Chains A and B, each alone.
With several copies, the nearest count.
Chain A
């Protein structure tokens, strides 16, 4: 077991991430260092696999996990690049008795202490449900997908597709893949959709960074109308960054998913710390932050709430000025 060397006062926790992409992960990193002192832990890392070994993130994460364990961390926070390929890293950590909390991704192989995650599938279904239910009439939704080699993009895509198939038979989804979460290809895809789809009712983009460019493209194509106007094309993003909240307030963006970067960062550290002290959780337990512990493929998960954020705050969505949102606690 990791030598809880002397000062058991500040537990050492290793952090292994996949991305430091702007939008969500950039802010996650900010919160992480904020909560590091607040929760009284020492974070080693973060290691960012996409930066260290672009294209070979899965293998890099194993290296990162090993070297963090060698450095004596007592627990690990991991955002797996791939839910299957993280298996060996988890097995290694287990063999060294280092508990693991995964963030945002549930592993499909190996066991972890806790998964801190909101349901990405639900991101997709909430977003597309919002578009279909707020559209002026039946038609097509353009989905600008993130990198499909990542699990999150695939889950969001699947969530959107399934909700439309099940609930909105007179809507169609046209999807566009974006390699490496590139901003420009995403904007280009949305622009193509703007011209190509005559009954375009809305655009669902898997992350927040391309939103500005998509809005600019709408303006340039004279397809722009304020949120609420009759010929408005609904735009729903994902992340819930402060900039997005500003866009929602200025009636430029319809909605976004509050992917709670603050809560991800907080509860990842929180559970890692609990793991070190040996706290036990069980499925079915409800938490103090509006969620409950569930079982996912044999592991426990704290399924964080990730509400849709809108200006109106209707239909179960959260009003953009709510102090529950991380964009307002920035």
Chain B
């Protein structure tokens, strides 16, 4: 651009201080909300497919179905924003509640028999999350292991531990406090939904308004620049791994509460949906780009698809194929609208 143009522009916008560039704001939101039209179309489809779709109780189902997934999407999005990757969140999602449940459940229902206080069990769940996150963070950030393959191996290990630990049993008969998160409701809406929405909101506000949140964008956007600006990049990135694993553990707790049991298979294959939701929701796999509200639309989209397919008369064997096709379409749309997210 030439100097003349630049001067011209300045003259044309004499009071830019007050008026944010409105187009820009719209554009930004537009970018985050690419999926909204898709969601609207899906909703219409849902209503056509089955009149039940728009009943409050079904919409609550949709929300509850996405709650645990949503927690892991928040977690993975935080990691993706800083330019990293964690597959083992699904392992934590299964293993952390398992260990907690195992320590508090009576022997008769496949616990260890120590029958710890359920609150202590909850602490164990969070502690396992924290420990796995710390381990991953240190090895990926400090020892510089490739995040994909390292967390893949961790995921295999954690899922394997989960399986081995129980040897094919289910821990059930869990105390109220332990399953509260997944089993109870407040004002007719499941606690898990409240907690997930709160997590999205807190993460969004944190990312938008907290200095460390902004630092995460800077780290994902330009690591060198972040370092030069005095951001403690390693500390932030390891911290993000830790927080993310704890969030995944909480997500696992929700799921355990929902089914009032912990099974050996909890969490397996979860991560695919997590990546799909985050990425079609606009979180870039390259880091530094995307917002929580976008990731939330990703979760909503996937939950809606599942719900509508279940409500529809599509044979249950075709549901997976339709699911894959819809994710592809969402990717294609995102590409067309030009957010470069895919």
List residues of chain A with CB under 8 Å of any chain B CB.
Answer: 19-23, 25-26, 29, 45-48, 51-60, 62-64, 66-67, 70-72, 81-88, 108-109, 145, 147-150, 153-154, 175-177, 179-184, 187-189, 191-192, 195-198, 209-210, 212-213, 216-217, 220-221, 243
Q: B263 near A109 (CB under 8 angstroms)?
A: no
Q: B258 near A187 (CB under 8 angstroms)?
A: yes
In the complex, A73→B261 CA distance in Å? 26
Q: A52 near B163 (CB under 8 angstroms)?
A: no
In the complex, A196→B307 CA distance in Å? 10
List residues of chain B with CB under 8 Å of any chain A CB.
Answer: 50, 52, 55, 57-58, 61, 64-65, 68, 90, 109, 163, 166-173, 183-185, 190, 255, 258-261, 263-270, 306-307, 309-311, 316-317, 319-320
A-B interface, 6 closest residue pairs, ranked by CB to CB distance from nearest: A20-B168, A84-B172, A177-B316, A148-B168, A213-B259, A55-B268
Across the interface, A176 reaches (CB within 8 A) one of B109, B163, B267, B316, namely B316
Q: A52 near B319 (CB under 8 angstroms)?
A: yes
Q: A66 near B57 (CB under 8 angstroms)?
A: yes
* A67-B310, A179-B320 known; A213 vs B265 contact (CB < 8 Å): no
Across the interface, A216 reaches (CB within 8 A) one of B109, B183, B255, B269, namely B183
* A84-B172, A196-B311 known; A22 vs B259 contact (CB < 8 Å): no
Q: B317 near A56 (CB under 8 angstroms)?
A: no
Report whether over half of chain B's contact residues are helix, strand or loop; otherwise say mixed.
helix
Which residue on chain B has the smallest CB distance to residue A109? B172
Give the chain A neighbours of B183 by CB distance below 8 A: 88, 216, 220
Q: A88 near B264 (CB under 8 angstroms)?
A: no
Most chain-A Cβ atoms within 10 A of its Cβ — which of B65, B167, B190? Answer: B65
- B69, chain A: closest CB distance, angstroms: 9
In the complex, A198→B268 CA distance in Å? 33
Give the chain B neighbours of A179 by CB distance below 8 A: 269, 320
Give the chain B neighbours of A60 by CB distance below 8 A: 65
In the complex, A54→B57 CA distance in Å? 24
Give the chain A neighbours of B109 by CB distance below 8 A: 84, 108, 243
Give the chain A neighbours of B264 by CB distance below 8 A: 20-22, 148-149
In the complex, A63→B305 CA distance in Å? 13
Which residue on chain B has the smallest CB distance to residue A87? B260
Q: A220 near B185 (CB under 8 angstroms)?
A: yes
Give the chain A neighbours of B307 by CB distance below 8 A: 63, 67, 192
* A66-B61, A70-B57, A71-B50 known; A88 vs B260 contact (CB < 8 Å): yes
Q: B163 near A149 (CB under 8 angstroms)?
A: yes
Give the chain A neighbours of B260 by CB distance below 8 A: 84-85, 87-88, 109, 212-213, 216
- A131, chain B: closest CB distance, angstroms: 19
Most chain-B Cβ atoms within 10 A of its Cβ — which of A108, A150, A184, A221? Answer: A184
Which residue on chain A has the smallest CB distance to residue B311? A196
Q: B169 near A26 (CB under 8 angstroms)?
A: yes
Give the chain B neighbours of A145 by CB distance below 8 A: 316
